[in-house]
Amino acid sequence: MTNRLTLDGGSHKTLLGLSAAELEQWAVAEGQPAFRGRQLHDWLYTKGARSFEAITVLPKRWRHSLEQRGISLGRLQELDRSIATDSTTKLLLATADGETIEAVGIPTEQRLTVCVSSQVGCPMACRFCATGKEGLQRSLFTHEIVDQVLSIGEAMNRRPSHVVFMGMGEPLLNSEAVLAAIHCLNHELGIGQRRITVSTVGVVNALPTLAELALKRLGRAQFTLAVSLHAPNQELRERLIPTARAYPFDSLLDDCRHYLELTGRRVSFEYILLGELNDHPKHAEELADRVGGFQSHVNLIAYNPIDEENFQRPTRLRIENFRSVLERRGVAVSLRASRGLDQNAACGQLRRQHAAIG
């Protein structure tokens, strides 16, 4: 069996993240018939069981034995819930070792997108991000990522259709668990790879490695790669993203081209518009020069304010002017609708509020 029977704190074994075949194999190793593994799979991924006690179809003696040996399903505990007027739902979830992470459900009539975290905190220290103010505690295990999708689906009583790795953390610093989670979401929850997006601010040498790992682990890399630029040049990017000092703009774009060559999948570029800082038409012109002719797409995002920084949300006029410049230059561009603004939508804010109260 592949070692996705993950370990928390060195000894806490969990089942969430395992496939039906792996659960069957594990059940047989436990002295149970193979169909017990299929029952576990159904209760884990379809019926929302959070403990062995809830899975009444399993023999009581076996359930008791599993609990005594420290084996769990791997579900996280909901500590807090914030619901905005547009129904965007943010959950604060506790891990087995007492850490906290955020997951967000973003609904429309046609879809439910779940924004998941890949780490507890983040080491990238982007100035406009609340999560980066706390630093990194650790990376998440596969089951902790998968649970976020299940928890949002349960909280909103709706099946998630899309997943974006745009929550807490830098996914490329936890690529093994992220890819294992994508495999699980794809095969066990039926969420197609093309409906999954992995967002990165850029880690030196990580993009080609991600492509190779994805082809090896998933067979094909069909998920969308979203690279956070947030500036049209190296100087401004370093002011916003301190880690960019180690990763020159041109090198990042070269790695994006290499990723495209390896996977055949176009790259999406994320650009947070900060009022009066990176939202001038000249910035749009410069950005068009850098990504023009590239098989890519630019996704514009209006900044969600946080208390620790004085960045401003751009005006509607400046947003539209920036977008128009890119369109005139032939760059594929879209504007991400802001959601949950009345409930502190910026990543990491609910976690920080809970820590302050605690």
Kindly tell me if the per-residue pLDDT of 343 is higher than 70. no
CA distance 78 to 233: 41
In this structure, the answer to whether residues 279 and 203 fall within a common structural domain is yes
Cα separation, 215 vs 267, whole angstroms: 16
Domain of 66, CATH number, reads 1.10.150.530
Q: Are 278 and 230 in contact (CB under 8 A)?
A: yes
d(CA 95, CA 8): 9
Q: Is there a single domain that holds both residue 187 and residue 66?
A: no
Residue where one domain finishes, among candidates 52, 72, 92:
72
Residue from 147, 140, 125 nearest 72 by CA:
147
Domain assignment present for residue 2? The answer is no
Domain limits at 35?
7-72
Q: What is the pLDDT of residues 78-96, one digit of tens each?
A: 999 999 999 999 999 999 9
Q: With 70 as the cut, is the pLDDT of residue 340 above it?
A: no
pLDDT at 70 over 90: yes
Task: Tell me the pairing of strands 119-121 and 112-115.
Answer: unpaired
- Are 185 and 313 contained in the same domain? yes
Q: How confident is the model at residue 237 (pLDDT cuts 50, 70, 90)?
A: very high
Same domain membership, residue 146 and residue 17: no
175 shares a domain with 56: no
134 labelled catalytic: no
pLDDT interval class at 346 (50, 70, 90): low
Asked if 53 is an active-site residue, the reply is: no
Average pLDDT estimate for 56-85: 96
Three-class SS string for 175-242? Answer: HHHHHHHHHHHHHCCCCCHHHEEEEECCCCCHHHHHHHHHHHHHCCCCCEEEEECCCCCHHHHHHHCH
Domain count, the chain: 2
Put simply, whether the predicted model's pTM sits higher than 0.85 gets the answer: yes
Specify if 192 maps to a domain.
Answer: yes
299 and 247 both lie in a single domain: yes
Reported as a single tens digit per residue, the pLDDT across 289-332 is: 999 888 889 999 999 888 778 899 999 999 999 999 999 999 99
Q: Is residue 1 part of a domain?
A: no
Which one of 99, 102, 144, 170 is the catalytic residue?
102
Q: What is the pLDDT of residues 6-17, one digit of tens each?
A: 444 444 589 999
Q: What is the distance between the alpha carbons of residues 103 and 253, in angstroms, rounded to a whole number?
A: 29
Residues 11, 51, single domain; the answer is yes
CB burial string 227-248: b at 16+ within 10 A, e below: bbbbbbebebbbebbebbeebe
pLDDT band at residue 5, thresholds of 50, 70 and 90? low
Judged on CB neighbours under 10 Å (0-12, 13-18, 19+), 77 is middle
Condensed to tens digits (0 to 9), the pLDDT of residues 211-226 reads 999 999 999 899 999 9
Question: Measured between alpha carbons, how far is 93 from 176 in angstroms, rounded to an integer?
Answer: 22
**Please, what's the b/e burial string for 80-105 (b: 16 or more CB within 10 A of its CB; e: otherwise)?**
bebbbebebbbbbbebbeebbbbbbb
Q: Are residues 125 and 272 in the same domain?
A: yes
The CATH number that applies at residue 252 is 3.20.20.70
- Residue 357 pLDDT: 52
Q: What are phi and psi of 334, to 5 degrees?
A: -140, 160
Answer yes or no: do 39 and 96 share one domain: no
Q: Which of 122, 126, 184, 347 is the catalytic position?
A: 347
